[in-house]
Amino acid sequence: MDISVEKKSTQGLYTTPLLHQTSFWSRVKQHQGIRSMAFDIKVKAADMYDGPVKDQWFIDDVLMLLLDIGNGKSIGYVPYGPAIHPIEDRYGLFIEELSESLLSYVGNDCIMLRYDLPWESPWAQDEGSHTENGDWTGPPSPSTQEMRLNFSTRNWNIRKAPTDILPTDTSFITVSKKSDVLLSAMKPKTRYNIALAKKKHVRVKTGSAEDIDIFYDLYRQTCMRNTIHLHRKEYFKAMFQTAIGKHTNSGTDFDLLIAQVDGQPLSAMFLTYSSSRATYLFGASASYGRQTMSTYALQWEAIKRANDRGCSEYDLFGTAPNSDSSHPMHGLYRFKTGFGGRPFHRMGCWDYPLDREAYQLFSTSEMVAPGYHR
């Protein structure tokens, strides 16, 4: 496989529905103190697909974040990238060749390249991979996944990461439809709760940078209620710092939406717009006033705004892989699937180790603290 890469400015990244591969996201991460690099990718079409594609090339790019892991070591992390991919039986070869092409850019202190692949999991399409009620049974063991991905590679060096950083399982709603059609696709209880929120006088407003304290208080309650990691306030301030700073016209923007009753904030979210896709990036809700169904009003407002922005789809960004009630994200699964989207299962994080010993130590430490970090 013939792949060439060339470093370029992160401000020159192409417009894409993948928020985490935009110049906007690079700036957000820079405000959070994380370095980033961007690369153009050029690959022969004949290496990616079968068929009459002689003398054709695929051109794309990729954003990489350089994550400091201590002791002078780093990770080259590609969030939801690359977007470009070959046919399934060449996935491993593509990752291998791309990694080898990037080695000269990441430095000797980089212990691995990690790809948070946005590609649909090949195991989600395997025969017998779903139960009678349509639930996906999930991917096989990591060793089996690695065997399938490394089959066509030279170095057999691709590893399934012990933890996924961004959500692998999500639900996409096609929002380029009229409101009555969107509502009819929802589950009856979801439609009922949207109507109930209206009766309870829930109103959704657009927040500003001055409202970050409101969001953060709701977010703190959410983390305490669900015993999840609490990011510092500056983590979210970076969104507004990026919006008022200078960046290219990447087609990326966001709204801070706040649902309230009589001025009392009950839930909030960051809704991003990137090309044809809207994404539910961060969400939070109060531990009181839950009978108002404010979170339903919030999502319905997000869907309508995505439609108004001309987006074709809305990524609900993180659910359980199926309806298993024992899964810790089962509540989110029930809530989000009620809005009528289609499930989508990404491949998750895959590593290309560069320093085997350091990689093994880091992987071991990750196994004791898995989870989504966004």
Residues 144 and 7 in one domain: yes
Axis crossing angle, helix 91-106 with helix 142-150, rounded to the nearest 10: 90
Whether 337 maps to a domain, the answer reads no
Q: Are 117 and 350 in contact (CB under 8 A)?
A: yes
Half-sphere exposure of 316 (CA within 13 A, CB side): 30
C-alpha to C-alpha distances, 19 to 23, 65, 109, nearest whole angstrom: 9, 14, 28
Domain shared by 142 and 262, yes or no: no
Q: Give CA–CA dist 89/127, Å, rounded.
A: 16
Indicate if 298 and 354 belong to the same structural domain.
Answer: no
Element (H, E) at 61: strand 57-70
Q: Is residue 235 part of a domain?
A: yes
Q: Are 149 and 350 in contact (CB under 8 A)?
A: yes
Q: Beta strand 110-120 with 73-78: parallel, antiparallel or unpaired?
A: parallel
Per-residue CA distances from 243 to 34, 159, 179, 184, 251 (Å): 17, 36, 29, 35, 12
Number of structural domains (the chain) is 2
Out of 311, 332, 355, pick the residue that ends a domain.
311
Element of type H or E holding 252 = strand 252-261
| Pair 17, 152 in one domain | yes
* Domain shared by 88 and 234, yes or no: no
Looking at the structure, tell me whether residues 235 and 271 fall in a common domain.
Answer: yes
Give Cα separations from 28 to 35, 58, 77, 252 (angstroms). Answer: 10, 28, 15, 12
From the first residue on, what is the mean pLDDT of each consecutive set of 10 residues in the chain (374 residues)? 94 95 96 96 90 82 96 96 94 96 95 97 88 88 95 95 94 96 97 98 96 97 90 94 68 94 97 96 95 98 97 94 88 93 95 95 79 48
Distance CA 162, CA 365 (A): 9
> Read out DSSP for 111-123?
EEEEEEEEEEPGG
Nearest partner of 260 among 237, 294, 288, 293, judged by Cα = 294
Q: Whole-angstrom Cα distance, residue 24 to residue 281?
A: 14
**Distance between CA atoms of residues 196 and 174, nearest Å:** 24
Same domain, 237 and 106: no
Answer whether residue 261 is part of any domain: yes
| CATH number of the domain to which 206 belongs | 3.40.630.30
Are 270 and 360 in the same domain? no
Helical residues (DSSP H) of the chain, grouped into ranges: 23-31, 45-48, 91-106, 142-150, 179-184, 188-199, 212-226, 233-244, 294-308, 330-337, 356-366
Q: How far apart are CA 334 and CA 322, in angstroms?
A: 10
Residue among 167, 172, 166 at smallest CA distance from 277: 172
185 in the same domain as 162: no
Which amino acid belongs to residue 189?
Answer: K
Residue 294 per-residue DSSP state = H
Residues 6+ apart with CB under 8 A from 230: 219, 220, 223, 224
Distance CA 100, CA 111 (A): 13
pLDDT of residue 245: 65
Shared-domain flag, residues 242 and 351: no
39 and 111 share a domain? yes
Which stretch of DSSP H or E encloses residue 41? strand 35-44
Tokens, residue 84? 């470009």
Structural domain of residue 80, as residue ranges? Answer: 3-167+346-366
Q: Are 200 and 122 members of one domain?
A: no
